[in-house]
Amino acid sequence: MSGPLAWRNVLSQPSGAIGVTLVVGHVALALLSPLILPHDPIAQSADLILQAPSLSHPFGTDRLGRDILSRVMLGGREAMLIATLATLIAMIWGTAVGLLLALIGGRTDTYVMRIIDALSSIPGILIVMIFVAALGVGPVALIPILGYSYGLSVVYIARAAALDFVARDFVLAAQARGHARTTILIREILPNVRDALAVQGAMQWSWLLLGIASLSFLGLGVAPPTPDWGLMIADARGVMQTAPWAVLWRMAMLSSLIVGVNLAADAFAKALGVDRQMRTGAA
């Protein structure tokens, strides 16, 4: 299905239109927020600690007297940047390995998939903790770690999608003509699995956003005082009963972005005829 037609089909679905609107709104806010911030997001004031929402501070202030609205507006920038770069890494290496294994087949496919199975059995949070302990907290450490960890699931999806095409006549004909494997993957197989991988990429972005927020909540993600939704939720959890506004707005922003990505991905999957419940290609 062509791009414009797929977009029309997505936007014609109420859930798709809502999802796309939420995602576009969050991305636009992340890009424009530095220009429209009402207050300095890291400026502290002892006179403004845990003030309730008011005209000057519509979302209230936190336990350090910082404006919550300004911090919420900036809270998704770092997470979205890390998630985007990590998703690109995960999709590139996961797709390359998955497609190549499907094309090669045989013992190589079996042995490598057993290695992938073993690596996938290691909890991702454990891997992150090990590397963060060695490299420190921050985007430089998080992006390659998350790109590797989340790329393991892409291998399964790419391999499963490619297995439906490697035995078809056009692939066998290309092999018979002596085309290199790289050429066959790029020209013959990749165009046929592109839609499934695009939907998978959207879901990876959603999972990474949630994963980064969880890591920040645990103190393993973005370092303070950088505004980050997960970090801000962790910082405000001790005052939830006395100052609920200090945490609810952060949770609402993160939830709306995750819901938006999932709604948009579902709509694209339907528009492209992709089954998101595709087998993960167990060998």
What's the pLDDT tens digit per position in 121-151?
888 778 877 877 777 777 778 899 899 989 9
Residue 160 belongs to some domain of the structure: yes
The two tokens of residue 281 are 């290609």
Q: How far is Cα 110 from Cα 113, in angstroms, rounded to an integer?
A: 5
> So what's the pLDDT on residue 255?
92
> So what's the pLDDT on residue 172?
84
> What is the average pLDDT across 148-164?
91
> So what's the pLDDT on residue 277?
45
The number of folded domains in the chain is: 1
Contact status, residue 74 vs residue 227, Cβ threshold 8 Å: yes
Q: How many CB atoms lie within 10 A of CB 12?
A: 11
The two tokens of residue 207 are 């999972």
Domain range for 239 is 3-36+75-272
Q: What is the pLDDT of residues 233-252, one digit of tens each?
A: 888 888 888 888 888 888 89
Residue 63 belongs to some domain of the structure: no
Instruction: For residue 245, give the CATH number of its domain.
Output: 1.10.3720.10
Contact status, residue 222 vs residue 137, Cβ threshold 8 Å: yes
Residue 88 belongs to some domain of the structure: yes
> What is the average pLDDT across 188-194?
88
Residue 222 belongs to some domain of the structure: yes
